[in-house]
Chain A
Amino acid sequence: MTELLQWARYHWQRPIGRTNTDDDERPYSYSSLLACGGKSSQTPRLAGKHRVVVPHLQLFKEEYEKFSGTYVNNRIRTTKYTLLNFVPRNLFEQFHRVANLYFLFLVVLNWVPLVEAFQKEITMLPLVVVLTIIAIKDGLEDYRKYKIDKQINNLVTKVYSRKEKKYVDRCWKDVTVGDFIHLSCNEVIPADMVLLFSTDPDGICHIETSGLDGESNLKQKQVVRRYAEQDSEVDPEKFSSRIECESPNNDLNRFRGFLEHSNKERVGLSKENLLLRGCTIRNTEAVMGIVVYAGHETKAMLNNSGPRYKRSKLERRANTDVLWCVLLLVVMCLTGALGHGIWLSRYENIPFFNIPEPDGHSLSPVLAGFYMFWTMIILLQVLIPISLYVSIEIVKLGQVYFIQSDVDFYNEKMGSTVQCRALNITEDLGQIQYLFSDKTGTLTENKMVFRRCSVAGFDYCHEENAKRLESYQEAASEDEDSADTPSGSLSNMAKPRALSCRTVHSRPLGSISSNHLTGSCFALESREGASEVPHSRQAAFSSPIETDVVPDTRLLDKFSQITPLLFTPTDETIPDPPLETLYIIDFFIALAICNTVVVSAPNQPRQKVGLSSLRGIPIKSLEEIKNLFQRLSVRRSSSPSLASGKEPSGVPNAFVSRLSLFNRMKPASPVEEEISQTSESLQGSDDSACPTEIEKQNSDAGIANGKVEALPGQPLTSSLCYEAESPDEAALVYAARAYQCTLQSRTPEQVVVDFAALGPLTFQLLHILPFDSVRKRMSVVVRHPLSNQVVVYTKGADSAIMELLSVASPDGPGLEKQQMMIREKTQKHLDDYAKRGLRTLCIAKRVMSDTEYAEWLRNHFLAETSIDNREELLLESAMRLENKLTLLGATGIEDRLQEGVPEAIEALHKAGIKIWMLTGDKQETAVNIAYACKLLEPNDKLFVLNTESKNACEMLMDTILKELQKNPASPEQASLSASLHQPPPTLQGSGLRAALIITGKTLEFALQESLQKQFLELTARCQAVVCCRATPLQKSEVVKLVRSHLRVMTLAIGDGANDVSMIQVADIGIGISGQEGMQAVMASDFAVSQFRHLSKLLLVHGHWCYTRLSNMILYFFYKNVAYVNLLFWYQFFCGFSGTSMTDYWVLIFFNLLFTSAPPVIYGVLEKDVSAETLMQLPELYRSGQRSEAYLPLTFWITLLDAFYQSLVCFFVPYYTYQGSDIDIFTFGNPLNTAALFVILLHLVIESKSLTWIHMLVIAGSILCYFCFALAFGAMCVTCNPPSNPYWIMQEHMADPVFYLVCVLTTCVALLPRFIYRVLQGSLFPSPILRAKHLDRLPAEERIEALKKWRGTGQMDQLTSKYADHSAVESERIPIYDPSAVFAVMSATACAVEKGNLPVCETALDSDFSETKASGMAGPSKD
């Protein structure tokens, strides 16, 4: 409607505007229209923080400099550093880490002469190395970004140049706010700009946003209202408007502002007018726009948050242990300080070896002890593993590499594999205790198949369709081509074969002539389109199964009653039956048009016919336009239009009359329409300069096509392609097409539907109220071409629609009664659908009088143009429109389960993960899907929480809790407090499982503070929880509640924008890159393409990553403590003077070089159990949940072992060399060498699998050590005082005692751990160890053993469930896939019904569905 208005105003103003008589036209301006609506004419004022954009032109030179100078240009710089600031800035950032600061402190400390332990410079080395490694990594990353930035900045676009008065090529980086940009098809938008012109006659422009959000369907954008109807390009020189809009923000779905013309007239701007940087222009020849946000202020860049940083649980655990290490260090240093003080105080005189201060005095023992404390800290600093953090990062990179290269995650269809977006929480995957899953698109395919519908209270079961789907599933292995055959053969069974949907496919507007008309530019385009469009369609609909619907024969019979006569004036004489027929017509029209589906042909871009001709003959003279306009208005007034409709023509409102004048109504009767169409087309061929004419021509082409294709027995290849934002919409449109109600084209102003018996109908699209999750519905406002009424078609969730149905029917009490009946029956059908797991939608309509509509429109305009609280106003406005609805019917759409979902859920359940399903669907649908995907088992005890008040909720929870306590499902679940810190307890014994179903409303109460604890206690006792009707906010609140109160590891998985908040709140967020765009993926830490990949990601990679990393971290602690303690023990023999018996270079390299690579390799490649076994025995995952690999106790045991080993390492050489003439550094050499062997062999003992890489690295480390020691010993004659390594290693290598000492030390040091592992392996093997045994068995034995393993787990509820799996199977079938049984029954029902009276039919139908419903309820509720 608004477009129409604009169009009208434009045509008013254009002829006159050119003659500069603006003032005369003021009364007609937009703001005055608002004023006469009776509301306050106050146009929303923009605050100062808003952005003003003025064109970069002479006219605005001063203003331009004032405003635009402050806005950033389009150059982007995503790099953090420049060449100059790299070093300081990188250092600054690195020193944000506490660990680095600590080491810096040590370095500084070493420069204090009194406490210096080593040579000053040397101490810096480890820190420098670590800083350098990280700096190089950062630098490389940054350089890569720099190169990409440069590449992007230098892309070329066409910018209007003031000097040359034309569009010139310019780099992206030189684009500034206020520039005019001209883009051709397939070009990428360089900056956020307001669309001013499109070659599309409707002023729309298609863009592909996959670069931004990954959604591959095309989105429509609209030219700013005033410019919408412009037929030639906006001349930038003449552009005299200024734009005010909000300051840059990152909300992709919001853009508010207005465009103010030089005459102070304002036009509201919305996101529909904004072209976003990074998107691609598609299917539109050329567009022009003015830049409003550039560079970093564009929405794309503001959304570019980069990789996410989370801290994993394991790392948090490690951090506390680092603190313990610090404490240990302090204790050791205190010991040293105290020891030194005591040692000093023993001497009365100054001994030789205690060197006095330069002034000849000696330090007092207390002071010396104090200094010694700091010296000790320097000496023993390695106790805090500086390399730990670097190593962890490297290991995680390696783990991410392996996860991403797992071929099992590769999805052939989408060509995508797993993405790790968060690099540092891989190990959290191995510790998940709670899983929160979305339903649609996550568990299900989100590929909607139309299954059933109910129109005017009659259920149409579409049994042929069901059969076709069945057989398709059976024949799933067949290839794509043969997939068509079953549907074909089945459609033979349908009696009216000619009506099989496949014959109905019609060609789009692009006829041969249109192809001919479009220029060479499109030839190129269509070639590209041919390669791309089918691909994206393939992503949406992998097979014809979703798009082909076999019509229900019963419904088809009723279709045959539809004749154009129904709409002739005589139709009032026909009694009741036509009402139902009318309902059917309305129902299918609603299906076809109540959506935002874009129609396009797969092989060529959707393109207006008249484009090139339009460009060929540009309108030049004012006179021509005037003529044109006059001719138009004359024809309008002659044709029967709104004014002569049902509405009394004498409406005083000038607005409506103007509306009637300028809207491009179709004639009321089809006959008349055709006549006028022909005449118009004749005219059109005469003068194709007018866009309106071309419109007509288009519809003519549509009619022609429709007629040709509607002929029976003339099958055409499917060539209409629907691109829908949600698959439901597409499914409904395809369903409508099956009934010959084909959506032919859609523009912002009109929708053409080819309706079987009625011929093509052109609906004037007055308004679209898009879907949102608050209203849970969407509406279109159209003018019905046949009845000529304003009709609102609403489609939405049943709960949303049912509340809005009109209580009183305007047409009399009889109809009211019928309405009530329809409503009741439809509700019954809806319940039935939901029980079968179908997604239900209600379709309703409302007929409005023109006055009502005009009234509403006025208010709606007001809402649309307000800037500050537009959302609320729009919602209010929608509420005003969507009420007093008349129910037409309901649809049931099947959302099939994804492949492997039940198996994955079963495995995750076995792994001890509690799974919650959070969905916006209704309860029945959710429960059914939950059964289908094995989230609920048939013998589960279901508790439904569905209350209207908080008190009721509390009482119900109490009762359920009591009941659960009566049946002690598991003795472990004694109380909540017990389960607070424990992983989810395993249910044992009786095998009773409980499941909780909770609805959104009740969830609201349960989430309140006072009930939280009770709710959590209840859920802790339930194996599965299903939350239905949950809003996105509730989803995230549930996750937050569980996460913070139970202190468990949570994982949220979802695919849509409504899951984003949940994904962000959970410890790990997983996005499914599926049908609903990439928002979820963008917010996630990991992205997979299918739910079933989750099982391998968690069970295998999660387990591996966790065990690997935790063992590596423990090893690092062990390694450093063991090594540093050697120095500590030596202090007892050197008067606690802080002497190191090792050369400091060796000391440094020991950690940096000789023992750094093996643990990293271990952290990346360690494999305790094979992937196959882990998948087959999900129980093994539980060890990770319980953090078994890294318990606090494990840490202390590791430390104890480290102490023991260091003691052995020190005292075996000590006793060997005691009393001999050995010197300090010669004494240190065997200590070091033995320590190296001990530390490396310790790793070998801990490793569960050793590949050649392990061997190579370990051998390399040892070799490296000896080479270094030998080289150092040979070359360093006087270097590195005082520790002179000269020839020490060489001496030792020739000394048998050295070897004897090393061998003995190594053996004694490792003996306890070795014995422990051996005893553990043979006496009390952990499940992991036992599973490892399985890996070594030959294939057949392994299968046997696996069976036995599972068999012996009978005690385990998990396995008991597995045991009676087969028994359950038969029982479950009716629930799992009820359609099989149902289809047969309903087929007989349908046969009986044929020819029966409607009343009888109804009875049978409802009766039938009732029995069916009870049958359904039986097994599922028990």
Chain B
Amino acid sequence: MAMNYNAKDEVDGGPPCPPGGTAKTRRPDNTAFKQQRLPAWQPILTAGTVLPTFFIIGLIFIPIGIGIFVTSNNIREIEGNVFMYYGLSNFYQNHRRYVKSRDDGQLNGDPSALLNPSKECEPYRRNEDKPIAPCGAIANSMFNDTLELFQVGNASDLTPIPLKKKGIAWWTDKNVKFRNPPGTDPLEERFKGTTKPVNWVKPVYMLDSDEDNNGFINEDFIVWMRTAALPTFRKLYRLIERKNDLHPTLPAGRYYLNITYNYPVHSFDGRKRMILSTISWMGGKNPFLGIAYITIGSISFLLGVVLLVINHKYRNSSNTADITI
């Protein structure tokens, strides 16, 4: 009987309650958890308690900031490997539909995707009834200016500076993410049945003569495919390797930059740049981070002082604040 009552009560939604019915005691457990008496850390934020935090932050941030700042400023000196970038401004590589306009499967060498690219590539998916390889707007708009750097010698003779094409893309991109269609045939055979992107001059398998830098795994292509986050961006173009430790990679002197102009930027009011830079442990030159750290460190230190004053003034009241106010 009692069971039935319980059952009915549960149907009611309320716990059972007949005083005489069930014999089980319903006394709740007296545990710290159930009685909400778990030991707890109770931070009390007053000037006194947080004072050290501010000083510590200040003491840590300022040196870090200075370190970063110095490192960043040292980047100018062209020592070690020099990276050659091209920069574009006002180029919205991060436009939503532009970003989507690619087929990662195709780029990964998936044979089916090669011949039947993703719909995301529209309207750069097919041309003249052939699938475009690589499809999509990103590939179609690939930067195709050629930059050459020469050192102007004493007699105005131009010594071409060796620019390394390889090693500019992420290792994982080059080796994992981007793959040519499988097979042992020559690349041209493997890309059979596809056509080049509309704006391209050459098909994808003719990007480079080096088999290891051709087709989808061409590093210029890979770098371009990693769409920039902001409308003004730079992309790594070439590497100038250091020859030996004794001389700077690019010694002071006159240099000559030869640009084969292919890429139109007027339509979007864009600008092109060429940047030469070395890289420190913290990337390219950017004073922001260092300055920011120094600033925040200083502010924190200052706040620490302010709080010290406050704490000194209100010390008596903060411990016994409960009484006076």
Chain A residues with CB under 8 Å of chain B are 78, 117, 144-145, 148-149, 151-152, 155, 186-188, 210-211, 214, 216, 278, 280, 300, 304, 306-307, 346-358, 360, 375, 402, 404-407, 410, 412, 414-417, 419, 421, 532, 535-536, 539, 1073, 1078, 1081, 1087, 1104, 1133-1135, 1137-1139, 1141, 1165, 1167, 1171, 1212, 1214-1224, 1226-1228, 1244-1245, 1247-1254, 1277-1278, 1281-1282, 1284, 1286-1287, 1291, 1295-1297, 1300-1301, 1304, 1307-1308, 1311, 1314-1315, 1317-1323, 1325, 1329-1336, 1345, 1348-1349, 1352
Task: Pick from A151, A1087, A1286, A1307: contact of B57, CB below 8 A.
Answer: A1307
Give per-residue flags for B47-64: 1 if the beta carbon is below 8 A from chain A beta carbons, else 0.
111100000010001001
Query: Which of A306, A539, A1219, A1348 is packed against the most chain B CB atoms within 10 Å?
Result: A1219
Min distance, Cβ B132 to any Cβ of chain A, angstroms? 14
Contact A216 B19 (CB under 8 A): yes
Using CB atoms, name the residue of chain B closest to A1224.
B229
21 contacting pairs across A/B (C-beta < 8 A): A78-B11, A211-B5, A216-B18, A347-B268, A353-B95, A353-B98, A404-B28, A407-B30, A417-B26, A1133-B231, A1134-B95, A1137-B98, A1139-B96, A1218-B232, A1220-B233, A1248-B43, A1287-B176, A1291-B170, A1308-B292, A1314-B45, A1315-B303
- Is B255's beta carbon under 8 Å from chain A? no
Specify which chain B residues have a CB less than 8 angstroms from the CB of A1251 in the assembled complex.
38-41
Given contacts A352-B141, A1133-B230, A1221-B85, contact A1081 B17 (CB under 8 A): yes
Chain B residues with CB under 8 Å of chain A are 1, 3-5, 7-15, 17-21, 25-30, 34-36, 38-50, 57, 61, 64, 68, 85, 87, 91-105, 107-108, 110, 118, 120, 122-124, 137, 140-141, 170, 172-173, 176-177, 223, 226-236, 267-269, 281-284, 286, 288-289, 292-293, 296, 299-300, 303, 307, 310-311, 314, 318-325
Contact B20 A1297 (CB under 8 A): no
Contact A1215 B288 (CB under 8 A): yes
Min distance, Cβ B142 to any Cβ of chain A, angstroms? 10
Complex alpha-carbon distance, A753 and B214, angstroms: 115
Given contact pairs A216-B20, A348-B267, enumerate 9 new A-B contacts (beta carbons under 8 Å).
A187-B1, A211-B8, A375-B96, A404-B15, A419-B17, A1135-B95, A1219-B232, A1287-B172, A1321-B46
Complex alpha-carbon distance, A414 and B101, angstroms: 72
Specify which chain B residues have a CB less than 8 angstroms from the CB of A1249 in the assembled complex.
40-42
Contact B104 A1250 (CB under 8 A): no
Min distance, Cβ B193 to any Cβ of chain A, angstroms? 21
Specify which chain A residues have a CB less than 8 angstroms from the CB of B140 in the assembled complex.
352
Using CB atoms, name the residue of chain A closest to B40.
A1249
Complex alpha-carbon distance, A174 and B64, angstroms: 82
Specify which chain A residues have a CB less than 8 angstroms from the CB of B93 in the assembled complex.
353, 1224
Contact A1321 B45 (CB under 8 A): yes
Min distance, Cβ B320 to any Cβ of chain A, angstroms? 7
Contact B231 A539 (CB under 8 A): no
Contact B17 A148 (CB under 8 A): no
Contact A1212 B99 (CB under 8 A): no
Contact B94 A1281 (CB under 8 A): no
Contact A352 B4 (CB under 8 A): no
Min distance, Cβ B200 to any Cβ of chain A, angstroms? 13
Complex alpha-carbon distance, A1138 and B12, angstroms: 50
Contact A1139 B310 (CB under 8 A): no
Specify which chain B residues have a CB less than 8 angstroms from the CB of A1284 in the assembled complex.
104, 177
Specify which chain A residues have a CB less than 8 angstroms from the CB of B1 in the assembled complex.
186-188, 280
Contact B235 A1221 (CB under 8 A): yes
Contact B40 A1317 (CB under 8 A): no
Min distance, Cβ A1335 to any Cβ of chain B, angstroms? 7
Contact A1348 B322 (CB under 8 A): yes
Contact B5 A355 (CB under 8 A): no
Contact A1167 B40 (CB under 8 A): yes
Complex alpha-carbon distance, A410 and B48, angstroms: 42
Specify which chain A residues have a CB less than 8 angstroms from the CB of B310 in the assembled complex.
1319, 1322-1323
Min distance, Cβ B293 to any Cβ of chain A, angstroms? 6
Contact A1333 B92 (CB under 8 A): no
Contact A1330 B321 (CB under 8 A): yes
Complex alpha-carbon distance, A1301 and B68, angstroms: 12
Specify which chain A residues have a CB less than 8 angstroms from the CB of B68 in the assembled complex.
1300
Contact B92 A1135 (CB under 8 A): yes
Contact B14 A421 (CB under 8 A): yes
Specify which chain A residues have a CB less than 8 angstroms from the CB of B9 in the assembled complex.
211
Given contacts A351-B92, A1345-B322, contact A416 B19 (CB under 8 A): yes
Specify which chain B residues have a CB less than 8 angstroms from the CB of A151 in the assembled complex.
3-4, 7
Task: Pick from A358, A1224, A1318: contact of B123, CB below 8 A.
Answer: A358
Specify which chain A residues have a CB less than 8 angstroms from the CB of B5 in the assembled complex.
210-211, 278
Task: Pick from B11, B228, B282, B324: contact of A1300, CB below 8 A.
Answer: B282
Min distance, Cβ A313 to any Cβ of chain B, angstroms? 22
Complex alpha-carbon distance, A414 and B25, angstroms: 10
Contact A416 B41 (CB under 8 A): no
Contact A1307 B296 (CB under 8 A): yes
Contact B98 A354 (CB under 8 A): yes
Contact A307 B19 (CB under 8 A): no
Contact A1282 B100 (CB under 8 A): yes
Specify which chain A residues have a CB less than 8 angstroms from the CB of B91 in the assembled complex.
351-353
Min distance, Cβ A516 to any Cβ of chain B, angstroms? 28
Contact A1349 B322 (CB under 8 A): yes
Specify which chain B residues have a CB less than 8 angstroms from the CB of A1295 in the assembled complex.
283
Specify which chain B residues have a CB less than 8 angstroms from the CB of A78 in the assembled complex.
11
Min distance, Cβ B148 to any Cβ of chain A, angstroms? 21
Using CB atoms, name the residue of chain B closest to A1078.
B17
Complex alpha-carbon distance, A1078 and B34, angstroms: 27
Min distance, Cβ B23 to any Cβ of chain A, angstroms? 9
Complex alpha-carbon distance, A1304 and B319, angstroms: 32
Specify which chain B residues have a CB less than 8 angstroms from the CB of A1300 in the assembled complex.
64, 68, 282, 289, 293
Task: Pick from B12, B47, B108, B288: contact of A1277, CB below 8 A.
Answer: B108
Specify which chain B residues have a CB less than 8 angstroms from the CB of A349 in the assembled complex.
267
Given contacts A1278-B104, A1314-B45, contact A1301 B18 (CB under 8 A): no
Contact A1282 B231 (CB under 8 A): no
Specify which chain A residues have a CB less than 8 angstroms from the CB of B15 in the assembled complex.
404, 419
Min distance, Cβ A942 to any Cβ of chain B, angstroms? 35
Complex alpha-carbon distance, A1245 and B21, angstroms: 48
Query: Which of B19, B27, B235 is packed against the most chain A CB atoms within 10 Å?
Result: B19
Min distance, Cβ A75 to any Cβ of chain B, angstroms? 14
Complex alpha-carbon distance, A1137 and B91, angstroms: 13
